[in-house]
Amino acid sequence: MSFSIGIVGLPNVGKSTLFKALTKKQVDASNYPFCTIEPNVGVVAVPDERLDKLSKLNNSEKTISTTIEFVDIAGLVKGASKGEGLGNKFLANIREVDAILQVVRRFNDPNVVHVHGIVNPKSDREVINMELILADLETLNKSLEKINSQMKGPHDKILDKQKSIFEKIKLNLESGKLISEIELDTEEKFIIKSFNFLTLKPMLYVYNVDENEVNDQPADGIAICAKIESELVELDSQSAKEYMETLGMQETGLNKLIKESYKALNLITFLTSGPKESRAWTIEKGTKAPQAAGKIHTDFEKGFIRAEVINWQDLLDCGGEVSAKEKGLIRLEGKDYIFQDGDVTVFRFAN
């Protein structure tokens, strides 16, 4: 299963344009607000040069990238949490994703209408965040009501704990904070996990900028020109390269976006490679060996014995598994081993 990222923002800021470029899917990205209503879903291969190199090394028949799912969601407006502009439905779409990519308009183009009549990234971001906060407050208030009524009778101690956490979160939300910005301990995080709060999801700001600002490095996100990205994907690789050179771009905005999404989501990649196939797998940072094995097959997790692990660069430098083994570079790791980004592995398991 892929991790999913929801593309969220005001109407007409370039969400679908970005989604189209990312997924190479034909969706409507027309110049009017609320062009998108039903969410568009697309799966994107995560580009990874390590995978390509391993595949070449082992002469693999197949090369399989790991993927991220992107969901292009309808534009949110002020009042969405109260149902404005079909708001509640859109918020429900956001609830289903693992992380949020918030597109904020910075490009100036008199031909593209801005729903507030003026380009103002800071206030646009606040409008969106406020709607997410209000949606969370609604969820929270409903749960608090329930807790309060349950507390009238004999009840479990966990309820007192829940109440105090919810009240703490409520105060913070009311002061305009996102839940992800509140300091919470492990127990608190555990208790609120199942509520699927919108502002607890990792969020990455993507500023949709003018052509001449495409190499900008905003402190709190990344800059992309969706218009350029949509042009780049139409070109063959040589022309794309030349076009990027004229703009001074080191890499495509889409690559940058996928990499940063990965970081924001706290994800890493491990790899498997042999003559049959080379493949990249996505796991969360901190995943232990048996659970990483479980990504490949549940049997691998159940019967996990050990993993043979080597860093991808070491394997490449050795020129292959045989020589890496001779040099003693392939480690045997047990069930407590925490997988690292770029590990290449073979799992040993019992049936």
Ligand X SMILES: Nc1nc2c(ncn2[C@@H]2O[C@H](COP(=O)(O)OP(=O)(O)OP(=O)(O)O)[C@@H](O)[C@H]2O)c(=O)[nH]1
Under rule CB under 6 A, residue 112 binds ligand X:
yes
CB 86, min distance to ligand X, A: 11
Q: Looking at 6, 14, 39, 290, which residue binds ligand X (CB under 6 A)?
A: 14
The least CB distance from residue 80 to ligand X, in Å, is 12
Which residue in 31, 141, 212, 313 binds ligand X (CB under 6 A)? 31
Question: Measured from the CB atom, is 14 or 290 closer to ligand X?
Answer: 14
Give the nearer residue to ligand X in terms of CB position, either 9 or 221: 9
Q: How far is the CB of 92 from Mg ion (least distance, A)?
A: 17
Among 107, 166, 205, 270, binds ligand X (CB under 6 A): 107
Which of 3, 5, 17, 104 binds ligand X (CB under 6 A)? It is 17
Q: Which is nearer to Mg ion, 76 or 214 (CB)?
A: 76
Instruction: Give least dist CB 32 to ligand X, A.
Output: 7
β-strand 40-45 against 67-72: which pairing, if any?
antiparallel
Q: How far is the CB of 121 from ligand X (least distance, A)?
A: 13
* R_g (Cα) of the chain, nearest Å: 23
Helix 121-150 to helix 87-95 angle (10° resolution) is 80
Q: In this chain, which residue has its C-beta nearest to ligand X?
A: 75
Position 75 contacts ligand X (CB under 6 A): yes
Report in angstroms how near the CB of residue 60 gets to Mg ion at its nearest. 38
- Position 125 contacts ligand X (CB under 6 A): no
Is residue 114 a contact residue for ligand X (CB under 6 A)?
Answer: no
The residue ranges that bind Mg ion (CB under 5 A) are 15-16, 35-36
Distance CA 171, CA 140 (A): 11
At 189, the amino acid letter reads: K
Q: What kind and span of H or E run contains 186?
A: helix 186-192
Q: How many CB atoms sit inside 10 A of residue 268's CB?
A: 20
Residue 109: CB atoms within 10 A of its CB come to 13
**Chain centroid, CA 124 distance in Å:** 21
Q: For ligand X, give the closer residue by CB, 44 or 292.
A: 44
Site for ligand X contains 22 (CB under 6 A)? no
Q: Should residue 223 be labelled a site residue for ligand X when binding is judged by CB under 6 A?
A: no
The residues pairing with 70 across neighbouring beta strands, listed in sequence order, are 5, 42
Q: Report strand pairing: 277-284 vs 267-273.
A: antiparallel
Q: How far is Cα 127 from Cα 133, in angstroms, rounded to an integer? A: 10
**Would you give the DSSP letter of residue 180?**
G
Q: Which of 55, 81, 208, 273 binds ligand X (CB under 6 A)?
A: 208
Strands 99-105 and 203-208: parallel
Cβ pair 268, 343 in contact under 8 A: no
**Minimum CB–partner distance for residue 72 and Mg ion (Å):** 6
Tell me how far apart the alpha carbons of residues 152 and 163 are, in angstroms, rounded to a whole number. 13
16 binds ligand X (CB under 6 A): yes
Helix, strand, or coil here: 98? Answer: coil
The residue ranges that bind ligand X (CB under 6 A) are 9, 11-17, 29-31, 33-36, 74-75, 107, 109, 112, 208, 225-227
